[in-house]
Structure 1
Amino acid sequence: MLLKPKLHYFFHLLILMIFCSASGQDVSLYRQFNGRYDFTFVGNTLNPLENSYQPVPTILTSSSATLALTPSDVIESAYLYWAGCGTGDFNVKLNNVDIVPDRTFSIIQTSSNLPHFSAFSDVTSLVQSTGNGTYTLSDLDLTSLITRYYGNRTNFAGWALIVVYKNNALPLNQLNIYDGLQGVPNEINILLDNLNVIDNQDAKIGFLAWEGDENIRVSENLFINSALIGNPPLNPANNAFNGTNSSTNSSVLYNMDLDIYNVENNIRIGDTEATIRLTSGQDFVMINAIVTKFNSQLPDATVTFGNYSLDCNVREIPIEYSVNNFNATNPLPANTSISVYANGILVGTNVTPAILQIGDSVTLTQTITIPAEIPNAFTLQIVVDEIGAVTELFENNNSDAIIINLLVSPPFNHLPTLETCNLGLNPVYFDFSDYEDAVKTRPSQIVTFHENASDAALGINSITNTTNYYTAQLPKVIFVRIEDQNCFSVTSVLLQTKNCPPIVYNAVSANGDSMNDTFHIEGLYDIFVNFKLYVYNRWGKEVWSGDNATPEWDGFIKDGIGSKQAPDGTYFYILYLNDPDYPKPLNGYLYLNH
């Protein structure tokens, strides 16, 4: 006897699927949201009929679905998944915008050795800009594969949007998105971790699954924490994945499921994980994504910089900051970690000293040392709960940063010793007014001169007369203070005299007119106190000698009989200064007339 076509397909599929197994990627946590969040599914199949009942193999290349949030719902994130038979079509369009995947998944039905695929793309910006309305996925073309997969009755394609939205009227929830690609039969177990359940009211779980068949319900059960769940009449407890959409109450989402279950009675306050178990004695079901939403009250650690103080040339900085738990619904535990960074280098750690209740804040102080390799201008950042030990309402607001410029003494030019000629018994005056500009490296610097280092450091008792400065103490150190708007430097300059070469006036007219009456050498007496001077006539005979205790030569022959005048003419002198700066004698001619 001949079977009717659809029964023939059914039993053909049954034979293929009973011993079917699959390999893929384990479903695991992808993203977590903490706050006033909820989610919805939007999507559609590309199968015009359930594949078990298609009289001929057929598939579409596009389909549409509608997003209809309330006016107060604000789209936070939107994720597009698309899937089908084959190794993958990874160039599709959503509302005529080209989409390529951020991630891909693959699975092989090992009994038939046929691959299937899924792809993921973050389309948040597109959905946020579009908002409510019709979404059309197109260019998903698996036409060439349908005949091959039709024999196995796993010819399918479809797409879905998981839309996460925020609404201030919602309670505080923790929303987790898990994804991967795991296939059944006969049984899979998926651990949903990173939960923080404080209230099971309105707790729900959503599934994005592929290739479920309405009329294949052999041991097809869904368990949450060992409890069998269902959502009749749309999802009977013995037929969890049957081509339905809980968001639209549709039962013609052929070979894919967008199902949401209330699990208030299946999750307990305090749970940090849940176990999903799916059994299927026949139907080849692929789990692509799971979304959980549980009421969750959490702390929200933030940190804000307060005061800090800087001292010149000091790399130890006392800082003040506040750790807050303002926008929170639960206390922040004591010993929550605090990390301090300078240009990304860890320079300090701390912990909160006590529990911070909702709305509380604690101000902490500590001194950090900036390593020498950090430049004077750097970014100082404080991070609270960096290691993520505390699950928070918001995980992206845990740091604060400021730019710090260390105070350093201003640079300056080194000043040479200022020397002037020794005037013997006469006072000596110094002009160092041009050193004000000479010491500067920037025009804005302020320069003052001081007689001692203490006054220079304090910036008091500055020298006002720098053009004609007199001091009886020589050599003398003058201290120079260079200031900028933050710091100062102190350098010094040495004032000293030197024995300048004497000036010889070599014309002597010893006629008593008070002009050039003696052999005058300027800068000699009382300066070169050990000098010796000798005068010789043209035949080399010494006619006179003298030293610091002898008057200048007046033209008379020393040790002559009576007051014998030297005759007019040219004479020769030798001057021994007996000074270390002038080791060689000075000599020359002088001219005498009466």
Structure 2
Amino acid sequence: MKRQCFALLIVIFCFFKVNAQDITLFQQFNGRYDYLAIGNTLNQAENNLSQSFCETLPSSQATLTLPTNATVVSAYLFWSGSGPGDTEVTFNATPITAEDTFTVEYNAGFNGQLTYFASYAEVTNQIITEGDGVYIFEDLDISDVLANTPGYCNNRTNYAGWSLYVIYQDDTLPLNQVNLFLGLEIINSAVQNKTIILENVNVLDNDNAKIGFLAWEGDNALNFGESLSINGNILSNPPLNLPDNAFNGTNSFTNATNFYNADLDVYNIENNIQIGDTQVTINLTTGALDSNGVFRADLIIINNIITVLNSQLPDATIVLNNYNVVCTNREVELDYTVFNNNSTATLPANTPIAFFIDDVLIAQSVTNSDIPIGGSENNQISITIPSSIPDSFIIEIEVDNDGSNTGIITETNEVNNETFELIELIPLPETIQLQPITACDEGFNKATFDLSKVLNQIDQNEYLSFTFFESLDAIVTDNSIPNPTDYFSNETPQTLYITAETDICFDIFVFGLLTENCPPIIPEGFSPNEDSINDFFNIQGLYSVFENHELLIYNRYGTLIFKGDDNNKWYGQINQGLTNQGKIVPVGTYYYLLNLKDPNFKIQTGWIYVNY
């Protein structure tokens, strides 16, 4: 900030509002990578020294010259200026629209509240197509903002500029990790100290390590209390960037000192980082008394920071390709792939994989083989889901996790190891009620059934197959009825179940078994000769069915010779009359009278032949 407070006493009464986007990791590149930056200002001169201009230039240019063996991997165009933003610009005659725009604001006292912006867009395809040469940037128009808000020019913070970052691959380079951090943060007379922590860096070798900055609105003539340090060490790059004047309108790539109110600088930091570091602490300061005792400070806006560090590390990521579930089964088969894409080293075999549901470890696995740079490994695992877990749940799968949320592998990126997936188990379907089927009582409510008859109640064309079960538990354990067309029921009424298979699962039908009293089948004769074959008057469907029946046997003279019931079958003996009781009747024809004592049946009579 310039000319905002003229004496130390006045600073106390100045009010500032800062609205910024924290600088965080934007992109990471791992491999034989490096970067190159070009750019230019749209200011005619340093605005703090020359008050003769307020407008910015309509265009400016810079020359891109990549190394001979370089292959463009990614390219980003950045532009910034006074005001809330211009998101439509032109780059080498190609219209460019901003992908995102950041702003910072502060109250400039008598000059009002001022806003500054920074935008970016990816231009990789354009740089690959056009290659080396002169690039012209134009159509960044902030003229209305400067005309309608005189505070920018009165405060001498009217600026505009641009920069192109190109990340490239070169097989002659060592294995590097290039981290591009993006945002918009400000320091000025109110915010005189700013700390920026760069996370997710991995220093394995500090040879040729470097850090670059893209900053806006710095002034060469306002180096009061100004410093730039990394991990507590002051950075400098003399003669361009002195220890007390880092943001001074310079370009380290061209050694230019006329990059007015912008800085495109890069520093060697071999001696400022240590092997094993996983973060870098950047500190910026501004503000001090000048020779006349007046407090003065620069306005500096940091747009991005880029680091290039030697790195030979894997990067384990995992993707769940698909999963398979079976009806009523809590076993889930997972098909997953472990990748080592954004890496500079092999991912070793036996890298642990942990499976969690609601932060509870439910299974573990490991990679089987070494996974090379850019390689992958596919695998499967079957997991039985505990009954305490609902049928719908989210499973978390994390590679390089030993089950206690601890990794054993140092990676280029330590925060991209997990994947999440919603899994739906298929529970036991609701049952569909069918009408019961009946069979003749064979005694004590037992009967033999042809269960296939119940299928007549179902549209069989809708299903692939049918299976019969004695209980729902039997469905779960797959214990089916082996011969449903000849099923003997030991006790009725009985409930049975059918699974009707579909393409996805199955429906469950439920039906009952009932017995009924059928007309007894009366034979025409028997032979009570104790040969264990047809030894008694065996009336099928009578005994243990019509338990209250009465059977009377008469000889040909009409004399009652036998009276029987459910507990007394006729083996040809006489049990009536005063004489001959216990004797076996002679060969002949006898008359029977069978009273079932069932209102649904009449008394049955007929002749039975006894022969030996």
TM-score by length of 1: 0.63
CA deviations 1:99-137 (Å, max 9, x no partner) are 475432123445x5554433244522x544564563524
- The structure 2 residue matched to 1:44, chosen from 25, 31, 40, is 40
CA distance in 1, matches of 2:165, 2:417: 27
Aligned to 1:83: 81
Aligned to 2:516: 497
Amino acid aligned to 1:104: T
Whether the 8 Å CA contact 1:46–1:61 is kept in 2: the answer is: yes
- Measured after TM superposition, the shift of residue 291 of structure 1 is 2.7
Establish whether residue 276 from structure 1 lines up as the match of residue 276 from structure 2: no
Amino acid aligned to 1:183: I
Establish whether residue 213 from structure 1 lines up as the match of residue 219 from structure 2: yes
Aligned to 2:598: 579
Percent of residue pairs identical: 28
- 1:15-54 aligned at under 5 Å gives the runs 24=18, 25=20, 28-31=23-26, 33-36=28-31, 37-51=33-47, 52-54=49-51
Whether the 8 Å CA contact 1:212–1:243 is kept in 2: the answer is: yes
Amino acid aligned to 1:41: A
Whether the 8 Å CA contact 1:300–1:393 is kept in 2: the answer is: yes
Establish whether residue 329 from structure 1 lines up as the match of residue 345 from structure 2: yes
Aligned to 2:207, the other structure's residue is in SS state strand
Establish whether residue 140 from structure 1 lines up as the match of residue 141 from structure 2: yes
- Measured after TM superposition, the shift of residue 330 of structure 1 is 7.9
Amino acid aligned to 2:251: N
- The structure 2 residue matched to 1:291, chosen from 289, 306, 321, is 306
Unaligned runs of 5+ in 2: 289-295, 521-540, 552-559, 564-594, 604-612
CA distance in 1, matches of 2:89, 2:267: 30
- Measured after TM superposition, the shift of residue 196 of structure 1 is 2.9
Do the aligned partners of residues 350 and 202 (structure 1) sit closer, same or farther apart at CA in structure 2, a change above 3 Å counting? Answer: farther
CA deviations 1:181-230 (Å, max 9, x no partner) are 32245953424342432221222222222233345555654443444433
Q: Which has the larger radius of gyration?
A: 1
Whether the 8 Å CA contact 2:438–2:515 is kept in 1: the answer is: yes
Aligned to 2:317: 302
- 1:149-168 aligned at under 5 Å gives the runs 149-164=152-167
- Measured after TM superposition, the shift of residue 144 of structure 1 is 0.4
Whether the 8 Å CA contact 2:39–2:163 is kept in 1: the answer is: yes
Aligned to 1:171: 175
Do the aligned partners of residues 312 and 240 (structure 1) sit closer, same or farther apart at CA in structure 2, a change above 3 Å counting? Answer: closer
CA distance in 1, matches of 2:203, 2:157: 38
- The structure 2 residue matched to 1:231, chosen from 230, 234, 237, is 237
Whether the 8 Å CA contact 1:242–1:256 is kept in 2: the answer is: yes
Do the aligned partners of residues 429 and 141 (structure 1) sit closer, same or farther apart at CA in structure 2, a change above 3 Å counting? Answer: closer
* Aligned residues between the structures: 499
CA distance in 2, matches of 1:385, 1:149: 52
Establish whether residue 462 from structure 1 lines up as the match of residue 483 from structure 2: yes
Do the aligned partners of residues 180 and 77 (structure 1) sit closer, same or farther apart at CA in structure 2, a change above 3 Å counting? Answer: same
Aligned to 2:89, the other structure's residue is in SS state strand
Aligned to 2:329: 314
- The structure 2 residue matched to 1:253, chosen from 259, 268, 278, is 259
Aligned to 1:60, the other structure's residue is in SS state coil
Do the aligned partners of residues 423 and 229 (structure 1) sit closer, same or farther apart at CA in structure 2, a change above 3 Å counting? Answer: closer
- Measured after TM superposition, the shift of residue 141 of structure 1 is 1.6
Do the aligned partners of residues 350 and 577 (structure 1) sit closer, same or farther apart at CA in structure 2, a change above 3 Å counting? Answer: closer
CA distance in 2, matches of 1:60, 1:319: 60
CA deviations 1:277-327 (Å, max 9, x no partner) are 444555623132333332334342234669999676332558797877785
CA distance in 2, matches of 1:23, 1:340: 45
- Measured after TM superposition, the shift of residue 393 of structure 1 is 2.4
Whether the 8 Å CA contact 1:224–1:275 is kept in 2: the answer is: yes
Aligned to 1:4: none
Do the aligned partners of residues 105 and 531 (structure 1) sit closer, same or farther apart at CA in structure 2, a change above 3 Å counting? Answer: same
Do the aligned partners of residues 148 and 99 (structure 1) sit closer, same or farther apart at CA in structure 2, a change above 3 Å counting? Answer: same
Aligned to 2:203: 197
Aligned to 1:436, the other structure's residue is in SS state helix
CA deviations 1:470-494 (Å, max 9, x no partner) are 9899979797764638988796753
Do the aligned partners of residues 14 and 525 (structure 1) sit closer, same or farther apart at CA in structure 2, a change above 3 Å counting? Answer: closer
Do the aligned partners of residues 324 and 206 (structure 1) sit closer, same or farther apart at CA in structure 2, a change above 3 Å counting? Answer: closer
CA distance in 1, matches of 2:30, 2:207: 15
Amino acid aligned to 2:43: N
Please report the RMSD computed on the Cα atoms of aligned residues, expressed in angstroms. Answer: 5.7
Whether the 8 Å CA contact 2:79–2:120 is kept in 1: the answer is: no
Do the aligned partners of residues 480 and 77 (structure 1) sit closer, same or farther apart at CA in structure 2, a change above 3 Å counting? Answer: same
Establish whether residue 383 from structure 1 lines up as the match of residue 384 from structure 2: no
- Measured after TM superposition, the shift of residue 40 of structure 1 is 3.8
Aligned to 2:57: 60
Aligned to 1:374: 391
Amino acid aligned to 1:287: I
Aligned to 1:511: none
CA distance in 2, matches of 1:477, 1:440: 24
Whether the 8 Å CA contact 1:217–1:238 is kept in 2: the answer is: yes
CA distance in 1, matches of 2:448, 2:383: 54
- Single out whichever of 205-214 and 35-44 deviates more from structure 2: 35-44
Aligned to 2:585: none
CA distance in 2, matches of 1:150, 1:328: 49
- Single out whichever of 383-392 and 114-123 deviates more from structure 2: 383-392
Amino acid aligned to 2:300: M
Whether the 8 Å CA contact 1:198–1:295 is kept in 2: the answer is: yes
Whether the 8 Å CA contact 2:351–2:399 is kept in 1: the answer is: no
CA distance in 1, matches of 2:596, 2:234: 119
Amino acid aligned to 2:309: F
Whether the 8 Å CA contact 2:470–2:496 is kept in 1: the answer is: yes
CA distance in 1, matches of 2:223, 2:490: 112
- Measured after TM superposition, the shift of residue 38 of structure 1 is 3.7
Aligned to 2:147, the other structure's residue is in SS state helix
Whether the 8 Å CA contact 1:450–1:478 is kept in 2: the answer is: no
CA distance in 2, matches of 1:231, 1:58: 31
TM-score by length of 2: 0.61
Whether the 8 Å CA contact 1:445–1:482 is kept in 2: the answer is: no
Do the aligned partners of residues 483 and 300 (structure 1) sit closer, same or farther apart at CA in structure 2, a change above 3 Å counting? Answer: same
Do the aligned partners of residues 27 and 323 (structure 1) sit closer, same or farther apart at CA in structure 2, a change above 3 Å counting? Answer: closer
CA distance in 2, matches of 1:411, 1:198: 60
Whether the 8 Å CA contact 1:413–1:438 is kept in 2: the answer is: no
